[in-house]
Amino acid sequence: MRPLVPAWISIGANLGGAVSSVLHAIENLKSIADSSLIRASSLYQTQPIDAQGPAYINAAVLLHTHLIAPSLLQILLHQEIQAGRLRPYPNAPRVLDLDLIFFGDAHIQSHDLIVPHPRWSQRAFVMIPLQEIDCPFVDLSMLDSVAHQSIKKIPTQDPKTMSFL
């Protein structure tokens, strides 16, 4: 069996019940075959990059998996489809977005997958949740470069959903 590899995943949604979609995605990630959810961030609210459409709800998770990165990516894409994700154009509003940001210390460059995610360090909605779950790739000085981006932590009222946050 392959050794466990840490994987950091960014989660976002801004259509439908975005908070529910993100919390449901976290629960689904807990059940990935050969994986264990180690940590999930708080939920954050951000505005779309192009300032169009409803606000996003974002979070990040760290899980350890025996899967290889392409297999994990396929599971993430399947979860997006199950949630009703459509891709009509780049940066379109979405019911669920799951991005594999880091896979251990791997550097992967393929047609289907780039790890680390190419724009992770340009986005507060990725960096701040990752920093909250102690991602070793987020240096506190890096957060200065996204300090101008609007992001706020949102409260989660349901104690059941907070058990793993």
CA 28 from chain centre, in angstroms, equals 13
In angstroms, rounded to a whole number, what is the distance separating the alpha carbons of residues 94 and 154? 19
pLDDT of amino acid 122: 87
- pTM comes to 0.86
Query: How much is the pLDDT for 115?
Result: 87
Q: Residue 102 in 3-state DSSP? A: strand
pLDDT at 165: 41
pLDDT (0 to 100) of residue 43? 96
Domain boundaries, the chain: 5-162
**pLDDT for the residue 133:** 92
User: Residue 38 CA to chain centroid, in angstroms?
Assistant: 14
Q: Which residues of the chain have pLDDT under 50?
A: 159-165
Separation CA 28–CA 24 (nearest Å):
6
Superfamily of domain 5-162: 7,8-Dihydro-6-hydroxymethylpterin-pyrophosphokinase HPPK (3.30.70.560)
Q: What's the confidence (pLDDT) of residue 69?
A: 94
